[in-house]
A and B are shown apart, each in its own frame.
Chain A
Amino acid sequence: MSDQRIFTRYKANEIRSELQIVDVKKIKSGVAKKKNALRKIIANLTLGNYSEMLLLLPEILKFWKIEDDMEVKRICHEYIRTIGSIKPRSTVESLPFILNDLRSRNEKVQIMALETLVSIPFSKFSEEAFDFIIHLTNKKTVPEQLMKNAIYSLVQLDDYDHERVMSLLNLLYDIVNHQIEKPTIQIAALNALCMIHDVDGNSQPVHISVETAFNILELLPTLNEWDSATLLEILPITVVPQTHDNAYDMIDMVLPHLQHVNSAVSLSALKMVLYLLNYIEEVNQTIIKRLSNSVIALLEKPAELQFLVLRNVILLLLSRDQSLLKFDVPYFFIEYNDPIYIKDTKLECLYLLSNEGTLPQILDELEEHATDIDIQMSRKAVRAIGNLAVKLGESSAGKCVDILLHLLEFGVDYVIQEIISVFRNILRKYPKDFKNDVKTLVKYVDYAQDTESRNAMIWIITHYSDILPDYLTLFETFCTNVLNESPEVQFSVLTSSIKFFVRYPSIETEKLCICLLRECTEDANNPDLRSRAFMYWRLLSLAREDGSNVTNEILKDIVDGELPKIELNTKLDPIVLEELELNVGSITSIYLKPTSQIFRMSSLKSLPNSPVLNSDKSLLNVIDDLRSIGISNSNDRLNGKNHNSNKNNNPVVHTMSDFDKPAEKVNHLKGSRKSSISSPSKLARKPSMLMRKLTLKKKF
């Protein structure tokens, strides 16, 4: 069969005639032709040729009687499903046929018929589906596959008739709690319950008792891989351990599944263990090692999965003050063949993994990539080096700065721009230590072309004018064409010129200052710039006036005040983190944004309360000895209660709007030109109130 002919748009008539010719002479070749014609119908549906294909409904119904060929059957059902989802009413004629199939003795056909019934959003169809499902639950022996399908059908039906599905939920609870001999069905029911509840924002989340959970977990070894994945995926939150022993036992049962070859299973197992860790007091070092190892092992999977795992590594690294899991730095070294999105994410992991000990290794790697062919990669690497200098202590900063200076010689403009931009941050953190390097840096003044690096350069020149003899000439390069600059640069230029004048009142600085003020007040279109210029102008005139209480010192204080040191904030809101941790392996974990932020409707996932819930992540102790876990102290419960009250007493200060301000490692996947590391971070600002009002918020 040639695909060419199948995958082209046909008129209904053409296909109809093909189907009819065959009806006359029943020969072998006719059969093939007829089938081919049917295939064409489906192909045309894929192509979106709905209106023509709609006309063929009577023909399709003729074929429905054929019992023994599954392919034809499948095509018929597929046809009805597609047409039905567009024009539900037009397919009513097919209902008797579908019902006939539903009564078939062939399990396969029954399943197909049920799926078709469910997929058509029309009350007549769903009524029948409901009847059939109820009929099934009353029967004693139902093929498992069919039962499973029936259960999942309810999820789909929930979209059409929520009330009716809600009334059937008890059936599902019944299955979850009692049908222990059929684990597949049990899990299907549990999963369906969770899905129905997820959609419905009002109802309480599903809970199952610890006993039931243990019963199901017992079955884990007998399940097929996807069922295990599903189970481990839904168990967190649905089951709440009531004692430490509960949690320890569950961890023991789940741990082996970290070794499952199916990544979905092992990631879900990881998620489950992470969840349970909130309910125990101490954890054995070997378990931590196994968790870490299982994560590392997942890095060998196909790129997409690797990406997911890396994003989750970021999450795990952020989740506690001291990361629970231990990752070796070399695993995050960038490989030449990695897709670019992996490289990008690895850089972020490296940045987060850095500390005094790992710095040399990481710096080597970052330096390697600062000269990468890909512009974004190299910018990001440079940015990471700069941020490391700010993040870590002084001694480390020295090494970072050395590398940055070395990279300057590489001589590529975007690298230099990035270096200039990060250097400002470094200088703000360590104003004294790298004074001497400023002279080297300003040699590259001509490279500063984009807004951020220009801004940074202006700031550097202004701030270190005392050690730069030719600061005015350097600065003038920025003044020549102020009106064509971006607003941020215009502001910097204006502010800097005032600073120069206040700092060194001389004819040149005065001239420059007046010239700029005039330009900004008279020619500028930007009202903010104009009013700022006027403000400065008035301030300066006020200082000149005799008898005013604005002395030169006060003026200096206002215009040229001491800037506070900056700090990088890498922490996420604890509530966000809590929710993210419950979403390991989901899409949320890729964006590192909680579902509740994106869909306001959906309920916030949080750790369910239990007598043994740790109120604070730091309460989990890691023990080194080989003492078997599962020993819990008798005063656990007392402590547990205290934890609870703590949790309640600490009102959460953070508001939802905090989520909008990503902490620096949250990557904007939409790839804005600036890397995530450069995204705005909270800076500790505490200048005088006046200062705060005068300066616009600048990005660092």
Chain B
Amino acid sequence: MTSAVYFCDNKGKPILSRRFKDDVPLNAIDKFQVVLSDLEEESSIIPPCITHNGIQYLFIQHNDLYIVALATSLATNIAEIFTFLHKMMDILGDYLKTVEEESIRDNFVIVYELLDEMMDFGIPQITETKMLKKYITQKSFKLVRAAKKKRNAARPPSELTNSVSWRAEGIKYKKNEAFLDIIESINMLMTQNGKVLRSEILGSVKVKSRLSGMPDLKLGINDRGIFTKYLDGNNIGVTLEESDQPSKSSESSITNTNGKTKTNIELEDLKFHQCVRLSKFENEKIITFIPPDGDFELMSYRLNTVIKPLIWCNMKVKVHSKSRIEIFCTAKAQIKKKSVATNVEIIIPVPEDADTPTFKYSHGKIKWVPEQNAIVWKIHTFPGGKEYAMSAELGLPSINSEEEPKFKRPVQVKFQIPYFTTSGIQVRYLKINEPKLQYKSYPWVRYITQNGDDYTIRLS
């Protein structure tokens, strides 16, 4: 139960507010600023929730904004509030492009309107951009012109309270298409000597639906949990080495891939968009849904398997104190020969006071980025199995002011590998059925593997 939501600038001064309940005093938000700065002085650990005078300040940061929700009861469901705040930022992002102090000030009327729609009495109501956009438009109506034409112009569509609250009726497209993107982000934590501390695959299936009417979609993937009913027992879970690559044909429309060897994987932690019928999935292991219009994330999954690093960097750093630092790095693309990693970026940290870099390298480009205190090695295309090397030398100042703590920032690697999923997940079919219109439709599928937020090699 949120009592109020405030938008505050980066100092904590309120710009815009919406009070949903009457139980917090008007000046409560003024304390936020004070409490926040007090905390900052006291310690570097500032949790996203603060208590002051019996009022709970729950906040998230977004660009130069603090979005603060106030609540009075400790039993308040904070998961709901944080989820709501993040969702709200997404929606505002859809409306205002960038959500920052200026755009909030510029558009505060629409923000009010949205807030009113998204939350009633502190309880979240509707947070589907597509539906909101149906009746909250940025275009406002003429002020005095008679009320002939658009008497009931702004009325919430009745679907809001239907069971399919995320899709409006009467959507029409000339060409009916559905695009499926399967994106796998790899998070890995490695030590310098190649030990993998943690590795996981975060997958997400994104759908862009451009379909008319109320289509019912059925998605088949080679998840073991989903497919056990249809396949024999000789399918073993896949490790990386076994995972065969999706053929080029998967780019075109998909039907049941009968001829191929079927590999089945077991996905953990499937999370579904609210449109997926969870009970149906639970009982029959079939993913069926009526999609919202436009882009959305259909499902996400996590796989916790030991994988070998797709892009491995062998690092050697020699620090000659007070004179120079030498960095040697060999990068290896440990992927199938057929695959190619693109947009590879290897970000190697260097000390803050380093200067005059000199580089030697075989491929790509190297830049020193002093703002990040790092050198960035960019390789545009990196075919599987290849090994590239570089070396760099940077000068260090001869006088050290103080004993600095060792620099412990990790090496970060960014990459993208198209047409490839590490887990081996594959779409077997996507059936689109619109009972009334019975149109022809075209599903498209694309696979990509990329680095996650945390694909790092720790330097010791």
The 8 Å CB contact of A262, one of B83, B146, B281, B456, is B83
A216 to chain B, nearest CB (A): 14
The 10 closest A-B pairs by CB, nearest first: A671-B43, A297-B269, A256-B278, A330-B198, A3-B105, A31-B143, A68-B147, A264-B80, A152-B121, A144-B161
Known contacts A335-B454, A587-B75; is A307 also within 8 Å of B279 by CB?
Answer: no
Apart from A31-B142, A35-B140, A152-B123, what are 13 other A-B pairs with CB-CB below 8 Å?
A: A66-B143, A69-B141, A148-B120, A256-B279, A297-B269, A300-B302, A307-B48, A328-B304, A336-B409, A336-B456, A344-B45, A587-B71, A587-B76
Please determine whether B47 and A585 come into contact, CB atoms closer than 8 angstroms: no
Q: What 0/1 readout, one digit per residue, does chain B (20-35) give for beta carbons within 8 Å of chain A?
A: 0111001000000000
Cα(A333)–Cα(B165), bound, Å: 39
The verdict on A682 contacting chain B, using a C-beta distance below 8 Å, is no
Please determine whether A3 and B45 come into contact, CB atoms closer than 8 angstroms: no
The 8 Å CB contact of A69, one of B51, B140, B166, is B140
Known contacts A198-B75, A264-B79; is A587 also within 8 Å of B56 by CB?
Answer: yes
Q: What 0/1 readout, one digit per residue, does chain B (83-126) give for beta carbons within 8 Å of chain A?
A: 11110000000000000001001101100110010001101111
Cα(A586)–Cα(B72), bound, Å: 12
Known contacts A68-B153, A261-B274, A595-B74; is A268 also within 8 Å of B79 by CB?
Answer: yes
A337 to chain B, nearest CB (A): 7
Interface bin, chain B: 35 or more
Binding site for A on B (CB under 8 A): 1, 14-17, 19, 21-23, 26, 39, 42-49, 51, 56, 58, 60, 71, 73-80, 82-86, 102, 105-106, 108-109, 112-113, 116, 120-121, 123-127, 140-147, 150-156, 160-161, 163, 165-166, 189, 197-198, 202, 268-274, 277-279, 281-282, 297, 299-300, 302, 304, 403, 405-406, 408-410, 453-454, 456, 458
**Could you say which residues of chain B place their CB within 8 Å of the CB of A589?**
78
Cα(A155)–Cα(B72), bound, Å: 14
Please determine whether B76 and A586 come into contact, CB atoms closer than 8 angstroms: yes
The verdict on A221 contacting chain B, using a C-beta distance below 8 Å, is yes
Known contacts A46-B16, A69-B140, A224-B126; is A587 also within 8 Å of B22 by CB?
Answer: no
Residues of A489-522 whose CB lies within 8 A of B:
none
The 8 Å CB contact of A71, one of B1, B109, B163, is B109
Closest residue of A by beta carbon distance from B106: A3
**Could you say which residues of chain A place their CB within 8 Å of the CB of B147?**
67-68
B214 to chain A, nearest CB (A): 15
Q: What are 22 A-B pairs with beta-carbon distances under 8 A? A: A3-B102, A42-B109, A46-B16, A66-B144, A67-B151, A108-B156, A119-B19, A191-B123, A229-B77, A229-B80, A257-B278, A260-B278, A261-B272, A293-B268, A297-B302, A304-B86, A340-B44, A373-B405, A376-B44, A376-B45, A587-B58, A588-B75
Closest residue of A by beta carbon distance from B59: A304
The verdict on A39 contacting chain B, using a C-beta distance below 8 Å, is yes
**Could you say which residues of chain A place their CB within 8 Å of the CB of B405?**
371, 373, 412
Residues of A319-342 whose CB lies within 8 A of B:
328, 330-331, 333, 335-337, 340-341
How many A-B pairs fall under 8 Å by CB? 283
Cα(A590)–Cα(B79), bound, Å: 11
Known contacts A85-B22, A259-B270, A304-B60; is A74 also within 8 Å of B113 by CB?
Answer: yes
B274 to chain A, nearest CB (A): 5
Q: What 0/1 readout, one digit per residue, does chain A (439-471) give for beta carbons within 8 Å of chain B?
A: 000000000000000000000000000000000
A51 to chain B, nearest CB (A): 13
The 8 Å CB contact of B453, one of A105, A226, A256, A337, is A337
**Could you say which residues of chain A place their CB within 8 Å of the CB of B146?**
68
Please determine whether B26 and A156 come into contact, CB atoms closer than 8 angstroms: no
Please determine whether B80 and A259 come into contact, CB atoms closer than 8 angstroms: no
The 8 Å CB contact of B123, one of A75, A230, A372, is A230
B192 to chain A, nearest CB (A): 12
The verdict on A417 contacting chain B, using a C-beta distance below 8 Å, is no
Most B CB within 10 A of own CB, among A148, A262, A590 = A262
Please determine whether B82 and A305 come into contact, CB atoms closer than 8 angstroms: yes
Most B CB within 10 A of own CB, among A233, A331, A670 = A670
The verdict on A133 contacting chain B, using a C-beta distance below 8 Å, is no
Please determine whether A226 and B124 come into contact, CB atoms closer than 8 angstroms: yes
What is the interface of chain B mostly: helix, strand, loop, or mixed? mixed
Closest residue of B by beta carbon distance from A187: B123
Please determine whether A587 and B198 come into contact, CB atoms closer than 8 angstroms: no
The verdict on A402 contacting chain B, using a C-beta distance below 8 Å, is no
**Could you say which residues of chain A place their CB within 8 Å of the CB of B125?**
226
Cα(A67)–Cα(B146), bound, Å: 9
A255 to chain B, nearest CB (A): 7
Residues of A289-321 whose CB lies within 8 A of B:
293-294, 296-297, 300, 302-305, 307-308
Cα(A148)–Cα(B121), bound, Å: 10
Q: What 0/1 readout, one digit per residue, does chain A (27-68) give for beta carbons within 8 Å of chain B?
A: 010011011000100110010100000000000000000111
**Could you say which residues of chain A place their CB within 8 Å of the CB of B16?**
46
B3 to chain A, nearest CB (A): 11
Binding site for B on A (CB under 8 A): 1, 3, 6-7, 26, 28, 31-32, 34-35, 39, 42-43, 46, 48, 66-72, 74-75, 78, 81, 85-86, 105-108, 112, 115, 119, 121, 144-145, 148-149, 152-153, 155-156, 159, 184, 191, 195, 198, 220-222, 224-226, 229-230, 233, 255-257, 259-264, 266-268, 293-294, 296-297, 300, 302-305, 307-308, 328, 330-331, 333, 335-337, 340-341, 344, 365, 368, 371-376, 412, 583, 585-591, 595, 598-599, 605, 669-673
Please determine whether B143 and A35 come into contact, CB atoms closer than 8 angstroms: yes
Cα(A42)–Cα(B113), bound, Å: 13
What is the interface of chain A mostly: helix, strand, loop, or mixed? helix
Known contacts A46-B16, A69-B142, A304-B82; is A259 also within 8 Å of B269 by CB?
Answer: yes
The 8 Å CB contact of A195, one of B1, B82, B86, is B1
Please determine whether A34 and B42 come into contact, CB atoms closer than 8 angstroms: no
Most B CB within 10 A of own CB, among A1, A308, A376, A412 = A308
Cα(A294)–Cα(B272), bound, Å: 12
Please determine whether A302 and B272 come into contact, CB atoms closer than 8 angstroms: no
B284 to chain A, nearest CB (A): 12
The 8 Å CB contact of A145, one of B60, B160, B166, B268, is B160
Closest residue of B by beta carbon distance from A605: B75
**Could you say which residues of chain A place their CB within 8 Å of the CB of B281?**
256, 259
Please determine whether B269 and A373 come into contact, CB atoms closer than 8 angstroms: no
**Could you say which residues of chain A place their CB within 8 Å of the CB of B127?**
225-226
Cα(A469)–Cα(B454), bound, Å: 52
A107 to chain B, nearest CB (A): 6
**Could you say which residues of chain B place their CB within 8 Å of the CB of A263?**
79, 82-83
**Could you say which residues of chain A place their CB within 8 Å of the CB of B73?**
198, 587, 595
**Could you say which residues of chain B place their CB within 8 Å of the CB of A266?**
271
Please determine whether B80 and A221 come into contact, CB atoms closer than 8 angstroms: no
Please determine whether B77 and A259 come into contact, CB atoms closer than 8 angstroms: no
Cα(A371)–Cα(B403), bound, Å: 13
Closest residue of A by beta carbon distance from B304: A328
**Could you say which residues of chain A place their CB within 8 Å of the CB of B102?**
3
Known contacts A69-B140, A156-B22, A294-B269; is A221 also within 8 Å of B82 by CB?
Answer: no
Please determine whether B144 and A26 come into contact, CB atoms closer than 8 angstroms: yes
Cα(A167)–Cα(B303), bound, Å: 54
Closest residue of A by beta carbon distance from B149: A68
Cα(A291)–Cα(B18), bound, Å: 36
Please determine whether A308 and B78 come into contact, CB atoms closer than 8 angstroms: yes
Please determine whether B151 and A68 come into contact, CB atoms closer than 8 angstroms: yes
Please determine whether B271 and A68 come into contact, CB atoms closer than 8 angstroms: no
Please determine whether A159 and B23 come into contact, CB atoms closer than 8 angstroms: yes
**Could you say which residues of chain B place their CB within 8 Å of the CB of A599?**
74
Cα(A46)–Cα(B108), bound, Å: 11
**Could you say which residues of chain A place their CB within 8 Å of the CB of B403?**
412
**Could you say which residues of chain A place their CB within 8 Å of the CB of B302?**
293, 296-297, 300
Cα(A121)–Cα(B19), bound, Å: 14
A253 to chain B, nearest CB (A): 8
**Could you say which residues of chain B place their CB within 8 Å of the CB of A304?**
48, 58, 60, 82, 85-86
**Could you say which residues of chain A place their CB within 8 Å of the CB of B19?**
81, 85, 119
Cα(A469)–Cα(B150), bound, Å: 97
